[in-house]
């Protein structure tokens, strides 16, 4: 008899409190998911703002190699004279005209004296990299 009385006196969580607990758990889960998604979207949006593109490459008659690069992103790009141009995987110190800072839509001429490096009709891989790591690469045969 005492056993029955004991079971009768044990009370469970009321239905109202259990519903409130489920709502609280759902709200916390939604907030955590929202914070994660917004952090991820913010990270990828910042990465897409900068972009450069090699418009053309050429070797002129005086032996100078030219790579014409345009800022096609939506923010400023900074090129470094000593480390922005790679020809066939080798970094080359270059001259940047008109300046090493490219605003949105601006084009620059990156040039080096190519004597002994490349010649007309060579297949070359050219990579141009900015100070923050944004880069563009093209493989092409130089015009004769």
pLDDT in tens, 27-54: 999 999 998 888 877 665 555 578 899 9
Instruction: Tell me the pLDDT band of 4, cut-offs 50, 70 and 90.
Output: low
96 beta partners:
110
Looking at the fold, whether 28 and 58 belong to one and the same domain comes out as no
Do 79 and 37 reside in the same domain of the chain? no
pLDDT tens sequence across 79-119: 887 678 899 988 988 888 888 888 989 999 999 988 888 88
Say what the pLDDT of residue 47 is.
53
Count of structural domains within the chain = 2
pLDDT reported for residue 68: 93
CATH (domain of 78): 2.60.40
pTM (predicted TM-score): 0.64
> For residue 115, what pLDDT is reported?
84
Together in a domain, 42 and 66: no
- Note the Cα 61 to chain centre separation in Å: 36
Q: Report CA torsion sign: 58, 62, 63, 68.
A: negative
Q: Assess whether 56 and 42 both reside in one domain.
A: no
| Helix and strand counts by DSSP (H, E) for the chain | 2, 10
Let me know whether 43 and 58 are in one domain. no
**Does 59 have pLDDT greater than 70?**
yes
Both 67 and 130 in one domain: the answer is: yes
Question: Both 93 and 77 in a single domain?
Answer: yes
User: Which residue range forms the structural domain that includes residue 16?
Assistant: 2-47
Average pLDDT, stretch 114-130? 89
For residues 33 and 66, state if they share a domain. no
């Amino acid at each position: 008899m005492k056993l029955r009385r004991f079971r009768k006196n044990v009370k469970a969580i009321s239905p109202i409190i259990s519903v409130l607990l489920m709502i609280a758990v759902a709200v916390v889960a939604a907030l955590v998911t929202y914070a994660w998604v917004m952090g991820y979207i913010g990270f990828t949006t910042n990465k897409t703002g900068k972009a450069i593109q090699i418009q053309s490459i050429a070797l002129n008659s005086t032996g100078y190699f030219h790579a014409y690069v345009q800022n096609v992103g939506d923010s400023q790009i900074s090129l470094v004279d000593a480390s922005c141009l790679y020809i066939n995987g080798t970094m080359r110190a270059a001259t940047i005209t008109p300046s090493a800072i490219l605003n949105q839509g601006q084009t620059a001429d990156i040039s080096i004296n190519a004597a002994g490096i490349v010649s007309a009709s060579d297949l070359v891989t050219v990579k141009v990299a900015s100070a923050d790591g944004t880069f563009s690469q093209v493989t092409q045969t130089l015009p004769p």
